[in-house]
């Protein structure tokens, strides 16, 4: 009897893990323009939204940082998601310098999402 209970319990755990993985990634992060949706090309001075989503839990605290490719200076913000599946947005101006930027979202020190964008010279 114990063996049967153990086998059934193990099957349920494996099934739950497979279902969770099939549902897609838990976290998503992207950079979007103030007017447009997700994007990879912006210009100096544009308004940007750093968007983060936790599809499975509410009130997830996170940190988002960007840095120019091949540079060490980071600019970081802290945020907290609302209800599961809702987008949390941090609004900021685009970087002051043109170049390629990497944006990383972390939860408890572990990277959960990454996005790359180009910041160009405006008019």
**pLDDT value, residue 10:** 46
Length of the chain: 123
Q: Which domains does the chain have, with CATH numbers?
A: 25-120 (2.60.40.2550)
**pLDDT value, residue 6:** 45
**pLDDT value, residue 23:** 66
Helix (H) / strand (E) element for 3: namely helix 2-22
**pLDDT value, residue 18:** 45
Q: Is the pTM of this model over 0.95?
A: no
Joined together, the tokens standing for residue 68 give: 């120019």
- What is the Cα–Cα distance from 37 to 109, expressed in whole angstroms? 27
**pLDDT value, residue 2:** 58
**pLDDT value, residue 1:** 59
Q: If you search the block for the tokens 């912006």, which residue do you land on?
A: 42
- Are 98 and 105 contacting, i.e. CB atoms less than 8 angstroms apart? no
> Consecutive sets of 10 residues in the chain, 123 residues long: mean pLDDT of each?
52 49 84 87 92 97 96 95 97 93 98 96 77
**From the CA atom positions of the chain, what is the Rg in Å?**
19
């Amino acid at each position: 009897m114990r063996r049967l209970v153990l086998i059934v319990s193990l099957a349920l755990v494996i099934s739950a893990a497979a279902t969770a993985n099939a549902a897609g990634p838990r976290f998503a992060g992207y950079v979007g323009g103030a007017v447009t949706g997700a994007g990879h090309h912006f210009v100096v001075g544009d308004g940007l939204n750093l968007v983060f989503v936790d599809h499975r839990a509410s009130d997830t605290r996170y940190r988002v940082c960007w840095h120019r490719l091949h540079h060490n200076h980071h600019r970081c913000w802290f945020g907290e998601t609302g209800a599961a599946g809702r987008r949390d947005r941090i609004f900021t101006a685009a970087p002051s310098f043109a170049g390629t930027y990497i944006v990383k979202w972390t939860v408890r020190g572990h990277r959960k999402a990454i996005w790359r964008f180009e910041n160009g010279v405006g008019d």
